[in-house]
Amino acid sequence: MSRTEGRLHWLMAISTLVLLLAGFCPAMAGDLDPFSGMTGTVKISGGTAHIPVMKEAAKRIMQNNPDIRITVAGGGSGVGIKQVGEGLVDIGNSGRKPTDEEIAKYDLKMFKWAIDGVGVVANPENRVKALSKNQVKAIFAGRIDNWKAVGGMDKAINVYTRDEASGTREVFWKKAIDKEDITPGANVVVSNGAMKSAVANDPYGIGYVSVGHIDASVMPLAIDGVTPTLETVKSGQYPVARGLFSNTRGEPTGLTQTFIAFLFSETGQKIAAEKGFVAVK
């Protein structure tokens, strides 16, 4: 083979590889196309479970579009709904469906782009691996206050919960403990991340987090024989689950509308799945 023929062969191989790679992930480029030429800012706040998806989506969009700025903050579901309703942000995230009163007051439009489970977690050093639903209810109500009563060490149980604006708390309160009061002695933390950190650093702690936030730093507890995982949430076996909503005041337009559409795109749904949630499409 001559030098010229070899060079042509090499160029053809490179061209074929480029075409194969382009065909392998058409959604990645195509789903970002609607942002081309757009400028402006999207402000997002609210539910903390949403943050990993929001940040990843924002990063990909801004990397391809330097004239677009997307800011992501937490605060909890109640904060997200209130701030979008008052025009302080463009998108208010919530881990619960807004109430009829909130919808009417703020003319909210709701977009559910994923499903999330809320799992009970303990410290990985805890030898208790499973509880019944009745035991969970009794622990969070304060009726059971020692791990020995559920097969663990003779140590006081340290309960962690979220504030009442939290969508994570609401679904846990409704579906895991049947709306029973949570003990006033519980430690209140401000986010899924703070909850995970608190339980990870407390050998006798118990709390609850979005399944998407569960990692090796905390141990998910099986409830009535079912461990909270992406698979059990998706199958419906694990019932403590909720929708993840992005809410706008009135119908979204412009850059906000394009961002929400991206969440439902093939790429957006893939990001949601990669972050531990159940995609809706």
Q: What's the pLDDT tens digit per position in 187-216?
A: 999 999 999 999 999 999 999 999 988 999
- Average the pLDDT over 3-18 and give the result: 41
Within-domain flag for 173? yes
Within-domain flag for 99? yes
What residues contact residue 278 under an 8 Å CB cut-off, 6+ apart?
A: 114, 115, 116, 230, 233, 234, 272
Name the nearest CA neighbour of 120 among 132, 102, 103. Answer: 132
Within-domain flag for 14? no
Query: Which residues form the domain of 183?
Result: 117-241
58-76: per-residue pLDDT in tens?
999 999 999 999 999 999 9
95-127: per-residue pLDDT in tens?
999 999 999 999 999 999 999 999 999 999 999
| Token pair of 81 as six digits | 């709904």
CATH number at residue 69: 3.40.190.10
Residue 18 predicted with pLDDT over 90: no
Within-domain flag for 21? no
Residues 77, 134 within the same domain: no
Q: Are 192 and 276 contacting, i.e. CB atoms less than 8 angstroms apart?
A: no
Residue 6 predicted with pLDDT over 70: no
Tell me how crowded residue 64 is: count the other CB atoms within 10 A of its CB. 14
